[in-house]
Structure 1
């Protein structure tokens, strides 16, 4: 489309800010409604695989991401004592690095600055409270009381997406998988030069992921009751008990954790919107449409791919509805493959029964999946 569009993005996380940057750089008028009162980012660190770094290059922030993080090329498989069992090269897309670990707050700051520099406006302490799509445009009222008309509204508002509720009610509420993620930031062991996956079979698996020269995070997934929450005074001790089978680097990382508040605990849920991800001129993207388990480290990568492909679709389609049709046709197969593969890996690692379709995916394996996803999106 040759005309400049007015686009409202509900959600100022990784995907929303990536889209704001991509659209503003193309000359569109972009506003981001973010429910948080100020710039911030929850969680510890994040892995940017090569396909995510490819998007960062297209947004003009690749060098800043690499400088703020820790680029790496090999996935190391280790036994419970930390002895190396395998060292697997990670694939790269085009000429960007294979992987980068980065603190979530650093990535959020880079993308927020890129969006504002490109010309987008970020409105904090606000979210969509009402909308009306008349086919020619969408009239939106935000929670701060302001009302405006937009050519396109995009829901990058996460797994609990309020915009998804506006479109579909409670039909696609997040579904708890029965498993939860434990993560904590610790000083980086100099020997951790990339992700180290220490495994004790189905009993436990721990990941050490470098995110700066000085820091790494320890992550582990365990089956947990839906209503379980770690004792806020003993969370680090509860994590240590779950990982008691490990010695070496994992045990040393645990020994460095003395503050229970440093442990980040999050239940792992999925969302699969089976109906079209767009209704009229309103579209869901990222976790709002297709949240996956973290086992391929592709959640944020799928969100930023969604963002860039949506911007490209708006470049070439004759209308907003046509662009949304083209965008979903490109994105749904890849995002659903990631979701299915991630969930199959989760079930395999936890010893849960798998289907024939999941067994076929598991034959590809995590290293094979990385090669699949390093191909064009």
Structure 2
């Protein structure tokens, strides 16, 4: 461990930020989390925790809680647009936990917030950084709620629109819209949906069903959309039906249950690649703030929690904070950039978009091969 407990400010109380807060507080550091939202409930639908993410959950002591509120699964089912099963692909594991766990985002937020506070971290809701000065030996911060002080380290787990990234680099690394968007809606889980069911084909679209608890699943789909498009609040469910009209089988059955336009969650798929160092002095960017990817490997949150655990380990082993951050970035950047490149290549392949020679090489690995790469130690 570094010579004395550090005082750390985590800017952002999402999945990565709360994981880091727990990992650091469990190691004896003094951690505060500044979260702009007033509460942690409004976090969308659900996510997949692949095996590498579950490994992190084990390391911070919350694996059992995640599995209890989620839905563990082992096999990816691939269907054609009509719903005919083409393949059932067992997923690799890292350790003895399930290969994957679907989990509602609000449930995961509650698990991680409880873990962070139990470990000793403080979560400040409804606040963010208003002023920040790094003098080399520490960072003086003022929060919008009047709290703050001097910290040994400030970590930006503040998402794809990261204010801390703008503080370091201005608008140079603003999110890049990919031309595609994600439509999702939570539904009662069909008994036959015991793992992800993915349907793709010549429709230049993909739809999938993901179990996130014993009772719930979500229907997700990706389509090319104009950058300024937003669903009509009164007819979003009908707009989703129009886009999925060519799908049959389990996708059509799930779609028939979508009757409330307010239940449809729409999000543009954007990407961020900070090509300069992710750390400047004692301020560091992590997760989507540094390397947001498309969701095509279900690795966005997994990369964030890996970032968090490896950062905690690097600070424990490092002689000083800047040196530890350099070690952390050297370890994390190649893996996160590989996930980003592979995810973008899969998006292009599935939607019939032109790919580069480099992307064609990645696509030879495919989604099953990528899963095997990502269960290797990191």
> What TM-score range do you get, normalising by the shorter chain?
over 0.9
| Cα distance, 1:79 vs structure 2 | 1.8
| Cα distance, 1:237 vs structure 2 | 0.5
| Cα distance, 1:248 vs structure 2 | 1.8
| Cα distance, 1:202 vs structure 2 | 4.2
Compared CA separation, residues 147 and 118, structure 1 to 2 (3 A): closer
Encode CA deviations 1:184-221: one digit per residue, 9 max, x unaligned: 01111111110000123343221000001111000000
Mind listing any 5+ residue stretches in structure 2 that lack a counterpart?
A: none
CA contact (8 A) 1:176 1:270 kept: yes
Encode CA deviations 1:226-250: one digit per residue, 9 max, x unaligned: 0000111000110011011112211
Partner of 1:351: 352
CA distance in 2, matches of 1:95, 1:2: 35
Deviates more, 1:354-363 or 1:201-210: 201-210
TM-score, structure 2 normalization: 0.99
Q: Please give the secondary structure, in 1, of the residue aligned with 2:358.
A: helix
Partner of 1:9: 10
Partner of 2:276: 275
Q: Please give the secondary structure, in 1, of the residue aligned with 2:81.
A: coil
Deviates more, 1:346-355 or 1:271-280: 346-355
Partner of 1:253: 254
Partner of 2:96: 95
Matches within 5 A, 1:98-137: 98-137=99-138
| Cα distance, 1:130 vs structure 2 | 1.2
Partner of 1:168: 169
Encode CA deviations 1:232-274: one digit per residue, 9 max, x unaligned: 1000110011011112211111111111000000000000000
Q: Please give the secondary structure, in 2, of the residue aligned with 1:101.
A: strand
Partner of 2:361: 360
CA distance in 1, matches of 2:312, 2:203: 42
Partner of 2:305: 304
Q: Does 1:204 align with 2:208?
A: no
Q: Does 1:232 align with 2:223?
A: no
CA distance in 2, matches of 1:79, 1:346: 17
Q: Please give the secondary structure, in 1, of the residue aligned with 2:47.
A: strand
Deviates more, 1:81-90 or 1:294-303: 81-90
CA contact (8 A) 1:200 1:245 kept: no
Q: Please give the secondary structure, in 2, of the residue aligned with 1:302.
A: helix
CA distance in 2, matches of 1:222, 1:50: 27
CA distance in 1, matches of 2:259, 2:319: 58
Q: Please give the secondary structure, in 1, of the residue aligned with 2:166.
A: helix
Encode CA deviations 1:115-141: one digit per residue, 9 max, x unaligned: 000000000000111100001000001
CA distance in 1, matches of 2:81, 2:198: 10
Partner of 2:291: 290
Q: Please give the secondary structure, in 2, of the residue aligned with 1:318.
A: coil
Mind listing any 5+ residue stretches in structure 1 that lack a counterpart?
A: none
| Cα distance, 1:49 vs structure 2 | 0.2
Partner of 1:316: 317
The total of aligned residue pairs comes to 377
| Cα distance, 1:369 vs structure 2 | 0.4
Q: Please give the secondary structure, in 1, of the residue aligned with 2:326.
A: helix
Q: Please give the secondary structure, in 2, of the residue aligned with 1:8.
A: strand
CA distance in 2, matches of 1:174, 1:81: 35
CA distance in 2, matches of 1:41, 1:25: 27
CA contact (8 A) 2:201 2:350 kept: no
Partner of 1:146: 147
TM-score, structure 1 normalization: 0.99
